[in-house]
Amino acid sequence: MKPKIRQILDMNAFSQDSAQTMNSGSLLSRRLKNFGAASVLFYRTPIEMIGGHGARLVASDGTEYLDFYNNVPSVGHTHPRVVEAISKQAAKLNINTRYLSRVVDDYLDALKKTFPDDLDNILLCCTGSEANDLALRIAMQRSGNRGFIVTETAYHGNTLAVTHISPAALKKDPLPDHVIAVPAPFSTIYGEDLGKGFAEAIKGAVDELENRGYGCAGLICDSIFSSDGVLSDPPGFLSEAVAVIKNAGGLFIADEVQPGFARTGTHMWGFQRHNVLPDLVTMGKPMGNGFPMAGVAAKSSDVKRFCEHVGYFNTFGGNPLAAAAGQAVLDIIKEDGLMENALLVGSHVMAGLNAIREKYLQISDIRGTGLFIGVDLCTDGDPDRPDPTLATDLINTLKHRHILIGAAGKYGNTLKLRPPLCLSIKEADIFLDNLAQGLDTLI
Amino acid sequence: MKPKIRQILDMNAFSQDSAQTMNSGSLLSRRLKNFGAASVLFYRTPIEMIGGHGARLVASDGTEYLDFYNNVPSVGHTHPRVVEAISKQAAKLNINTRYLSRVVDDYLDALKKTFPDDLDNILLCCTGSEANDLALRIAMQRSGNRGFIVTETAYHGNTLAVTHISPAALKKDPLPDHVIAVPAPFSTIYGEDLGKGFAEAIKGAVDELENRGYGCAGLICDSIFSSDGVLSDPPGFLSEAVAVIKNAGGLFIADEVQPGFARTGTHMWGFQRHNVLPDLVTMGKPMGNGFPMAGVAAKSSDVKRFCEHVGYFNTFGGNPLAAAAGQAVLDIIKEDGLMENALLVGSHVMAGLNAIREKYLQISDIRGTGLFIGVDLCTDGDPDRPDPTLATDLINTLKHRHILIGAAGKYGNTLKLRPPLCLSIKEADIFLDNLAQGLDTLI
């Protein structure tokens, strides 16, 4: 029997049920009172963090954790150049985009150079959720359709419209009728010709959306399929599915919130690994190394059509402070060679994981590219017997060894490894050693 | 004949049609290429801003503008204490709320003290749009209904769900069937007993939502009715409408993105002027003086019910950087006495405007409280003949006099005055003198 399907916010999470004996004046108690049921905290005993640098986070008790999880502070926690860019710009000016500001257009000119030429407009907003919400609307406007296709453990954000296309966020309610979720692109599901099998599933979903009367507005994929369990290979497997969508008059939306900004080690954007041309690209998380910023790269013709109906203005989106943070991130990626580092250190981690796998039957699969890696844990290495309990135990064991990792996948049995891109070989080795030792203590 | 109804983003705006002769390498040209049709720029000739302090903005040509428009940098442009708070925290740690952070709960404890006791949870996000999107969903979850009531020139943000309740954002499309817009609370529309008249309109909308099969999930009001044209008085007029909504099983959502954080001069929140108890309060814009942050104050029981269905996590929402900025804003409002200053200087502006009105028949009404003021311009002072052309001309004339103001209202004929709360009496006088002289040159 497979374990129950996990809702994304429940993975590796503190449970409020276990908080009965908590000191009522403690920080944890205050957090639970402030956020209420929306407290989403990591670990059976949450950690109070007070500092960070590079790939390290510092807790209030002085413990330094090796951060193998957080992909937002992608160029490194409190990177001095990002801090300086934010501090300097904050002292100079922070205002909305209804006035011109050179720092904003310098940034956009630089950012646009990383995209295919036909994505010639960039709409700036503040969160990946806002970016995906906007992308859905542009897709509906151009296609004239309302139906969307997603993968079955997809998570694209938290607005009403975006929750509708995020099966991993729904605890009780079914997907709405205008959204169809197909199984994520595992070769164990679609067979050896993954591209063809996945494209056939997409074609079936397109037909079903037609039958239901919505038509196909688009396919939206996180091009690394993070919440589905990190599905990276083989590069190119998305191209046939994208062709199916375009033939159906729908748009392909590449959600680059997770794989974007060089994390995959070989390209700035995940869709480039698949050699496809998206109609819309959304980005967020590492864009400002934690400064709240996000965006949609789109064709000017689509933006024009959309703006004839509603227009778009975002008060905080693209302010000079965000642009300064974003520019610093682009500069650091380039000048510190972080894409190359992600490939180098990521390959080292993959090799180390494969060596560990030989000792442990419980590791049934290792997938990933650059510094985005998923490790499946299963009973006796049988993919049909996923072991989320082992994943949770291992995550908590590694925490006690001062290493932070997370979980993903439909059953929560996939270890999710996404350290800052500045990770060193030495830090990778610390992780690998502790993972092996942690497995030893649990198995 | 009344002028055409204005879409909110068209007011006081640069028109791309007039950009034909523009230098192709200019910053304006780059902006239009980067943002495309989503370029929303102020003024017939947009201004490049490079700096700001207090209630002043500095343009690239060295001109210093008196800012009578921007309500986001509410404690003053580049306020040193906000800059310091952001810079210090950015150098220390910026991480998501899945870890505990004392700065976050210190801030939330302080913020919660400004709300009625029963709003005991605060969900932090990044934009007012996200806050309103979340509030709509919590209201639907509690009420079990899907219908919403808004005012007819309301603007609540830019997600798909929030655009549906923002008639001022729609250029072509009608409101969706589950949303009913009632005329904004003008006594010229509802008669002398504004509260009773408005409540009757709300009751009619509740009944209509029942007839349409949606039921009433809630009434959402910007409690200063900014985009409707600034409707502040008499305090208390909202209470009967709120009672109607609660009787119907709907929620009252106070959108405090505009009036919140002491702008009205007498209270921290606009709904407090009306002596009503909202079920949900949304906040944004001035919350971090321009740092992207927003939130929803809610009852823990409603948050619990909501989270049983989908949960809520916002990657950037409530990070320690946002909390540091927000805490600085709360501290400055209190320690610099900005609420008292808003009342004092706002009353001075009102008195000055009333004196000017005696000379100009074109000013048909002046409304407002604290530093949130609307001034209607009409032909021969006849409210039935609104004059948006005069408003636009005056806005551009004042720009040439180095003063920034904006427009609002269904016909775009209401001058919208919302300077930073640190405005001095002397700066108010500069505005009043220039307004009078500007009117002289135009009439």
Mean pLDDT, range B349-356, rounded to an integer? 98
Query: Which DSSP symbol is given to B37?
Result: G
A93-A288-A224 Cα angle (round to 5): 160
Q: Is the predicted pLDDT of residue B295 greater than 70, yes or no? A: yes
Q: Is the predicted pLDDT of residue B275 greater than 70, yes or no? A: yes
pLDDT of residue B311: 80
Confidence class for position B328, pLDDT limits 50, 70, 90: very high
Closest CA to B322 of A292, A54, A92: A292
pLDDT of residue A5: 76
- Give first-to-last CA distance, chain A, whole Å: 21
**A363-369 β-sheet, strand order:** A363-369, A372-377, A414-417, A406-408
Nearest chain A residue to B84 by CA distance is A87
Nearest beta carbon to residue B100 from set A36, A46, A298: A46
Name the average pLDDT for chain A: 95
**Structure-model confidence comparison of residues B349 and B20, the more confident one:** B349
Mean pLDDT, range B190-214, rounded to an integer? 98
Q: What is the pLDDT of residues B184-198, one digit of tens each?
A: 999 999 999 999 999
Residue that has been written with the tokens 């013709």 in this structure? A301
pLDDT of residue B381: 82
CB contact under 8 A, A95 and B70: yes
| ipTM metric | 0.97
Give the predicted TM-score (pTM) of the model: 0.97
Name the average pLDDT for chain B: 95
CB contact under 8 A, A315 and B9: no
Nearest beta carbon to residue B36 from set A72, A127, A303: A303
Sequential pLDDT tens for chain A (443 residues): 677 777 777 777 777 766 555 676 799 999 999 999 999 999 989 999 999 999 999 999 999 999 999 999 999 999 999 999 999 999 999 999 999 999 999 999 999 999 999 999 999 999 999 999 999 999 999 999 999 999 999 999 999 999 999 999 999 999 999 999 999 999 999 999 999 999 999 999 999 999 999 999 999 999 999 999 999 999 999 999 999 999 999 999 999 999 999 999 999 999 999 999 999 999 999 999 999 999 999 999 999 999 999 989 999 999 999 999 999 999 999 999 999 999 999 999 999 999 999 999 999 999 999 999 999 999 988 989 999 999 999 999 999 999 999 999 999 999 999 999 999 999 999 999 999 999 999 98
Annotated domain spans of chain A = 6-43, 80-335
CATH class entry, domain A80-335: alpha beta
Instruction: Identify any residues that bridge with B154 across adjacent strands, giving them in sequence order.
Output: none
pLDDT of residue A239: 98
The proportion of chain B whose per-residue pLDDT surpasses 70, expressed as a percent, equals 98
Q: Is the predicted pLDDT of residue B31 greater than 90, yes or no? A: yes
Nearest beta carbon to residue B98 from set A42, A97, A158: A42
Mean pLDDT, range B49-73, rounded to an integer? 98
| Three-state DSSP class for residue B283 | strand
Confidence class for position B20, pLDDT limits 50, 70, 90: low
Mean pLDDT, range B297-304, rounded to an integer? 98
Closest CA to B259 of B231, B218, B279, B293: B231
Mean pLDDT, range B7-12, rounded to an integer? 71
pLDDT of residue B251: 98
Q: What is the pLDDT of residues A305-363, one digit of tens each?
A: 999 999 899 999 999 999 999 999 999 999 999 999 999 999 999 999 999 999 999 99
Q: How far is B303 from chain A (nearest CA, A)?
A: 6
Q: Is the predicted pLDDT of residue B145 greater than 90, yes or no? A: yes
- Residue A285 with chain B: CB contacts under 8 Å: 315
Nearest beta carbon to residue B311 from set A31, A48, A169: A169
Confidence class for position B425, pLDDT limits 50, 70, 90: very high
- Residue A98 with chain B: CB contacts under 8 Å: 40-42, 46
Nearest chain B residue to A56 by CA distance is B93
Instruction: Identify any residues that bridge with A254 across adjacent strands, giving them in sequence order.
Output: A221, A281
What's chain B's Rg over C-alpha atoms?
21
Give the contacts of B243 (CB within 8 A, at least 6 positions apart).
B199
Q: Evaluate the omega torsion of the peptide bond into residue A174 and state whether it is cis, within 30 degrees of 0.
A: no
